[in-house]
Amino acid sequence: MRVLIADGQAKLRFALRILLQQQPGLQVVGVAADASELLCLARSAGADLAIVAWDLPGLKPGELVRALRRLCPEIYIVILSERHERDAWRMALATGADAFASKANPPARLMAVIEALWRNWRTKVPPSNTNNPASPLEGGRMISAAAGCEGE
């Protein structure tokens, strides 16, 4: 599974890259610090999964998810946020993201979310490509770990 990482924090981008590169079957194909970089990479990287910070500089979160979904309708989108309450993941999923993970949780929680999406990817379950927060994943329940280009 080919993965894009997008976060405004350099240390977090580095840590995520190291974590994901250690996982068999995952390949980091791009790292972005802002929305325009992410959208540029999305056009060319052929990623299957994007891990995107909710507060990524450049676009409002909902606009970013919708723009990424327009460019790459088949990509799975995981939103990372410093917020971990239920309202945060509901907002993320309502914008069209497939899953949510809190930055406050241990890495194992994020990996559990990625593994669930990976199972869907391997069995060709399509990502959510609507703004419907009730889109089914994992047997009908949403996945959550919470408890040089110009833009478009």
pLDDT at position 69 is: 92
pLDDT at position 61 is: 82
pLDDT at position 145 is: 39
pTM of the model: 0.81
Say whether pLDDT at 133 is over 60: no
pLDDT at position 98 is: 92
Domains of the chain: 2-144 (3.40.50.2300)
Q: How many CA atoms lie within 13 A of 103 on its CB side?
A: 18
Say whether pLDDT at 130 is over 60: no
Per-residue pLDDT reduced to its tens digit, 103-125: 888 999 999 999 999 888 877 77
At which residue do the structure tokens 């994007």 appear?
50
Closest CA to 78 of 46, 103, 55, 53: 53
Per-residue pLDDT reduced to its tens digit, 25-76: 999 999 999 999 999 999 899 999 999 999 999 998 889 999 999 999 999 9
Greatest Cα pair distance, the chain, in angstroms, is 40
